[in-house]
Amino acid sequence: DTAVSQTPKYLVTQMGNDKSIKCEQNLGHDTMYWYKQDSKKFLKIMFSYNNKELIINETVPNRFSPKSPDKAHLNLHINSLELGDSAVYFCASSQGPASGANVLTFGAGSRLTVL
């Protein structure tokens, strides 16, 4: 009964391809996030949605496009994949900053390898 689930867990693909990572949460949270963890284990936020509305969009190439069909889902689509996109992508959710302590619940991560 996973709270935040991501698919796929592993993704190996060629440069130039387009791929998507899906995320779903069953916690009833209002806010969802995508974080990128690079090879040095550094975690950096990419996007955040609150009730299907984009509220955080860091300096991410526009090849990355998040989509939130409803507040329980936040998918990440990546066009024209590059070698530097290889990383572990973490989805997370929270009740949102307005709720007080903004505690994030993370998914298990999706390891993307671009060859």
Partner 1 sequence: AQRVTQPEKLLSVFKGAPVELKCNYSYSGSPELFWYVQYSRQRLQLLLRHISRESIKGFTADLNKGETSFHLKKPFAQEEDSAMYYCALSVYNQGGKLIFGQGTELSVKP
Sequence-separated (6 or more) residues with CB below 8 Å from residue 56: 33, 45, 47, 48
Cβ proximity to partner 1, 83 vs 101, nearer residue: 101
The one among 12, 43, 61, 79 contacting partner 1 by CB under 8 A: 43
Q: Is 12 in the site for partner 1 (CB under 8 A)?
A: no
Residues 6+ apart with CB under 8 A from 22: 6, 7, 73, 75
Binding to partner 1 by residue 68, rule CB under 8 A?
no
- Return the residue of 19, 77, 96, 113 that touches partner 1, per CB under 8 A: 96
CB of 20 to partner 1, least distance (A): 20
Q: Other CB atoms closer than 10 Å to residue 77's CB: what's the count?
A: 14
Cα Rg for the chain, rounded, in angstroms?
A: 13
Measured CA distances, 79 to 63, 91, 111 (Å): 5, 18, 16
Least Cβ distance, residue 15 to partner 1 (angstroms)? 28
Q: Is 33 in the site for partner 1 (CB under 8 A)?
A: yes
Residues in the site for partner 1, rule: CB under 8 A? 31, 33, 35, 40-45, 48, 50, 55-56, 90, 92, 94, 96-98, 101-109
